[in-house]
Amino acid sequence: MKKSVYSICGMCAVRCPIRVEVENGKVVWIEGNPNDAAMGRSLCAKGASGIALEYDHERPQAPMIRVGPRGAGQWKIVSWDEALDHVAGKLKTIMEKHGGKAIALSDRGGPYNDLTKAFLRAVGSPNYFTHGATCERNAHHAVKNLLGYGRGAVKYDYKNTKHMVFYGRNIVESIMVKEVKAVTEGLAKGAKMTYIDPRASVTAGKATRYWRIKPGTDYALNLAIIHTLIKRDLYDKDFVTRWTTGFPQLAEFVKPYTPEWAEQETEIPAEEIVAFCQEVAEDAPHVIFHGGWMNSRYPDSLYASRMAVIINVLLGSVEMPGGMWFAKGPGAAGRKGLKTLVDLMPKPTDPRCDGVGTEIKHIDAGPGLIHLLYPCIETGKPYPVKAYFAYRHDPLLANPDPEEQKRIFENLDLLVSIDVNYSETAWHADVILPEATYLERDNILQAVSGLKPAFYRRQKAVEPLYDTKPMWWIVKELLKRLGKGDLFPFETIEDIWNYQLKDTDVKIGDFDAKGFVSLAKDPIWMDRKDGLKFPTPSGKIELVSSVMEKAGVPSFKPYEKPSTGPEGSLRLTHGRCGYQAHGQSTNNPALHELLKENVLWINTKEAAKRGIKDGAMVEVSNDAARGKIRAYVTDFIHPDVVFMLHGFGRTVPAQTRAYGKGLADQIFAKGLLSEWDKAGGGVTLLECFVNVQPAS
């Protein structure tokens, strides 16, 4: 028996639409959903390896309760009833003593978080977190406090652009399938690409211009670009006058930041900066200065990102084909959105434990700042947090300094991991609740904003292979056991879907034909002359941000040179490649075949100084950790930094393929749990220095 199922990929957090082929109850083929024009049948290597995840026996197959010390790998395999009774019992005790606010949960954010947020609200906790402080918070707040739109709503039209500019946005390797396709199409149509990165990633190989910038100096470059655009009258005066506030302050601020000054900071020649400005001004308004994605890097990453987006504004590239545009929700199409599960729950009355939204006002309270959860767990201030659920999130891998985290976790009465893999956190948890894979489960419906907003559905293609359950079911069963079942009055996923669709004129059967339901016939653009809408306090683009200023955070910060580590040390940088998703896929049978271990990129001259040969083992060390990895000696990286792929050096013995292969970067990140960009919320993950020498 054959069937074809439209669903949503779950091999990374991007959630591409897919079509799954099932034969006799087995997944035999996955491709992009051909009904979605931007997607076509394309899929990335991770997406195609969903089949390998599905049939991998090295994933948790039933609920497990820890019987030895944390992390010792001693488990009792139990039934779902026993696991849920155990968790609910612990939660009840914690709630009686400390209240519901003592329960925290972190996940990967995105549209499915309506479910996890609803769970927390039902138990009376405001303490919902995402991974965001180690990912996109800086890029998010850069646009939010400038344009009023969040990062997810700020889009770029790569297909029709004349020039795209990326600052370490490794767009070809750090993949979003629709985006890579659009970039490739734009390049094929003759668009230029400028790529700026201390390391020549694969994206640099596609670029027209590559600048090997001195690490941590993007802000200096952007200040000089803005200086030049203003000084040489290369900006769109009409647009700036009509739609922005704070231009005179910006112009005044950038006066000292000349291209000659920037050359000293960035190592990019002044005349190249000027020539570049002339070139982009000619290509304007069909230009893209990408605000970045994973910008949790340096103490001024918010400002670097904010200035990149301001360059779009100066060039008039706002709601512009070939430039920057804003995603439209169902409302813009005159349609109703999905009903939310959180609306069924009472609003939490306690403030967030991390102070976001109360003391910290310029940061979005929704997902909070995950690194600020740790002091609460450790000190019990402002109030105790005693239970922590890591759902679709691996904090011991994604947050800095796992040893420090483990020490702090000792203050928890309950640590639960809900995962499809044996993550680093799962292995250290008290209870593992194994979720059914994305191919085996239904999710709540998701609304996707865009030029044409739409609703999408992830639905199960096959029955769970093992004793695993979907999250909506886990939430339902836990709430029942906590006496909160009436707040979540659903027995089946169809009940939830029908509730979500209640106010829309969409029926669940409407998803069958294509896998999604489009809410608009034609692309929706705002009227650029008079109809632009910016959800900022002033309704304009706030070059001087009222939200930031009110919170005592300057809109423009005087430039400071990047830090340098101890004498002789190198900055440790990290990132992704096209065929791994963070650490979650290093043990995937198919992807492991493509890449078994990471290597350490090191500059040729720096390697020679240290007697390091290409391919030889080196020792990486600092105060926090020590480990061995193979050197990749190359001219294509700045001498101040070394680079390794994130996600390797796994410590979970049950992941036999990935176990002990390569080196983990997060173990060197000592102290970084408490170092962050105060303006944007991002952890400064690249403020990490290591010694590198030949391994003995």
Give the footprint of ligand MGD on this chain (CB under 6 A). 10, 12-13, 46, 108, 131, 134-136, 167-170, 173-175, 196-199, 201, 213, 215-216, 218, 292-294, 297, 391-394, 397-398, 418-421, 423, 435, 437-438, 573-576, 578, 580-584, 643, 646, 665-666, 685-686
Question: 298 vs 534, which CB is nearer to ligand MGD?
Answer: 298
Q: Token digits for 334? A: 């005159």
Residues 359-418 that bind ligand SF4 (CB under 6 A): none
Residue 428 φ then ψ, to 5° = -95, -5
Query: What is the smallest separation between the CB atom of 139 and Mo ion, expressed in angstroms?
Result: 10
- Scanning 44-52, 121-129, 517-525, 545-553 for contacts with ligand SF4 by CB under 6 A, the matching segment is 44-52
**Nearer to Mo ion among residue 136 and residue 354 (C-beta):** 136
Closer Cβ to Mo ion, 49 or 295, answer by number: 295
Say which entry of Mo ion, ligand SF4, ligand MGD, none residue 43 contacts (CB below 5 to 8 A, set by partner kind): ligand SF4
In our burial notation (b when 16+ CB lie closer than 10 A, e otherwise), range 360-384 reads bebbbbbbbbbbbbbbbbeeeebeb
Smallest distance from the beta carbon of 170 to ligand MGD, in angstroms?
4
Place of tokens 């949503």: 8
In sequence order, the β-bridge partners of residue 66 are 75
For the chain, the residue count is: 696
595 binds ligand SF4 (CB under 6 A): no
Which pair of structure tokens corresponds to residue 676? 């962050």
The distance of closest approach from Cβ of residue 186 to ligand SF4 in the complex, given in angstroms and rounded to an integer, is 18
Q: Which of ligand SF4, Mo ion, ligand MGD, none interacts with 177 (beta carbon under 5 to 8 A by kind)?
A: ligand SF4
Which among 166-174, 242-250, 288-296, 591-599 is the span making contact with Mo ion, rule CB under 5 A?
288-296
Candidate residues 5, 6, 11, 33; the one interacting with ligand SF4 per rule CB under 6 A: 11
Return the one option of ligand SF4, ligand MGD, Mo ion, none that residue 397 interacts with (CB less than 5 to 8 A, by type): ligand MGD
Shorter beta-carbon distance to ligand MGD: residue 13 or 83: 13
Give dist(CA 684, CA 691) in Å, integer.
19
Q: Which of 545, 540, 531, 556 is nearest to 241 (CA)?
A: 540
Cα end-to-end distance, the chain, whole Å: 58
Q: Are residues 300 and 686 in contact, defined by beta-carbon separation less than 8 angstroms? A: no
* Residue whose CB is less far from ligand MGD, 105 or 544: 105
Residues forming a β-bridge with 690:
570
Instruction: Write down the number of H helices and E strands in the chain.
Output: 22, 27
Question: Minimal distance in Å, beta carbon 563 to ligand MGD?
Answer: 12
For ligand SF4, the closer CB: 177 or 287: 177
Closest residue (Cβ) to ligand SF4? 47
**Binder to ligand SF4 among 5, 6, 7, 16 (CB under 6 A)?**
16
| β-strand pairing of 431-434 with 414-419 | parallel
Among 19, 33, 46, 386, binds ligand SF4 (CB under 6 A): 46
- For residue 562, give the nearest of 636, 638, 495, 496 by alpha carbon: 638
405 binding partner (options ligand SF4, Mo ion, ligand MGD, none; Cβ < 5 to 8 Å by kind) = none
Asked whether the beta carbons of 354 and 137 are under 8 A apart, the reply is no
- Complex with ligand MGD: residue 293 or 534, whichever CB lies closer: 293
* Distance separating alpha carbons of residues 470 and 444, to the nearest angstrom: 10
d(CA 33, CA 38): 9
Rounded alpha-carbon distances, angstroms, from residue 100 to 46, 170, 364, 377: 38, 41, 22, 14
Least Cβ distance, residue 653 to Mo ion (angstroms): 27
Cis, peptide link before residue 382, omega less than 30° from 0: yes
Window of 6-14, 137-145, 327-335, 413-421 that interacts with ligand SF4 by CB under 6 A: 6-14
Alpha carbons within 13 A on the beta-carbon side of 146: 30
The separation between CA 315 and the C-alpha centre of its own chain, rounded to angstroms, equals 28
Size of site (CB under 6 A) for ligand SF4 = 14
Shortest distance, position 501 Cβ to ligand SF4, whole Å: 24
Q: Which of 47, 316, 367, 453 binds ligand SF4 (CB under 6 A)?
A: 47
Residues 222-261 that bind ligand SF4 (CB under 6 A): none
- Shortest Cβ 46–ligand SF4 spacing (Å): 4
Positive/negative CA dihedral, 251, 253, 256, 258: negative
The minimum distance between CB 132 and ligand MGD, in angstroms, equals 8
By the 10 Å C-beta count (0-12 exposed, 13-18 middle, 19+ buried), 72 is classed as exposed
Among 11, 135, 308, 644, binds Mo ion (CB under 5 A): 135
Of these, 5, 6, 7, 15, which contacts ligand SF4 (CB under 6 A)? 15
CA angle 223, 571, 170 (to 5 degrees): 60
422 CB neighbour count, 10 Å cutoff = 24
Should residue 139 be labelled a site residue for Mo ion when binding is judged by CB under 5 A? no
Name the one range near ligand SF4 by CB under 6 A: 42-50, 239-247, 369-377, 446-454. 42-50
Q: How far is the CB of 104 from ligand MGD (least distance, A)?
A: 15
Q: Give which of ligand MGD, Mo ion, ligand SF4, none residue 438 binds (C-beta under 5 to 8 Å, depending on kind).
A: ligand MGD
Give the amino acid at 119: F
44 binds ligand SF4 (CB under 6 A): yes
Of positions 14, 281, 448, 686, contacts ligand SF4 by CB under 6 A? 14
List own/partner pairs for 62-68 with CB under 8 A and 24 or more apart. Answer: 62/434, 62/466, 62/467, 62/468, 63/431, 63/432, 63/433, 63/434, 63/467, 64/431, 64/432, 64/434, 65/430, 65/431, 66/429, 66/430, 66/431
- In this structure, which amino acid lies at residue 556? F
Q: Are 169 and 292 in contact (CB under 8 A)?
A: yes
| Binding map of Mo ion across residues 290-319, x = CB under 5 A, - = no contact | ----x-------------------------
Tell the smallest beta-carbon distance from residue 59 to ligand SF4 (Å): 17
Q: Is 574 exposed, middle or buried (0-12, 13-18, 19+ CB in 10 A)?
A: buried
Min dist CB 455 to ligand SF4, Å, is 18
Measured from the CB of residue 293, what is the shortest distance to ligand SF4 in angstroms?
Answer: 13
Within 13 Å and on the Cβ side, how many CA atoms surround 97? 15
C-beta separation of 437 from 411 below 8 A: no
| β-bridge mates for residue 650, sequence order | 659
- Locate 143 and state its tokens: 């646009």
Site for ligand SF4 in 151-210 (CB under 6 A): 175-177
Residue 333 CB, nearest approach to ligand MGD (Å):
28
Strand-strand pairing, 192-196 and 163-167: parallel
What part of residues 60-119 is at the interface with Mo ion (CB under 5 A)? none
Least distance from ligand SF4 to the Cβ atom of residue 685, Å: 21
- Residues 46/49/55/61 CA torsion (nearest 10 deg): 0
Q: From Mo ion, ligand SF4, ligand MGD, none, which one binds at residue 198 (CB under 5 to 8 Å depending on kind)?
A: ligand MGD
With CB atoms as reference, the residue minimizing the distance to ligand MGD is 168
Closest-CA residue to 341 (of 125, 114, 116): 114
- 141: closest CA among 392, 309, 384? 309
The residues binding Mo ion (CB under 5 A) are 135, 294
Q: Which residues bind ligand SF4 (CB under 6 A)?
A: 9, 11-12, 14-16, 43-44, 46-47, 175-177, 581
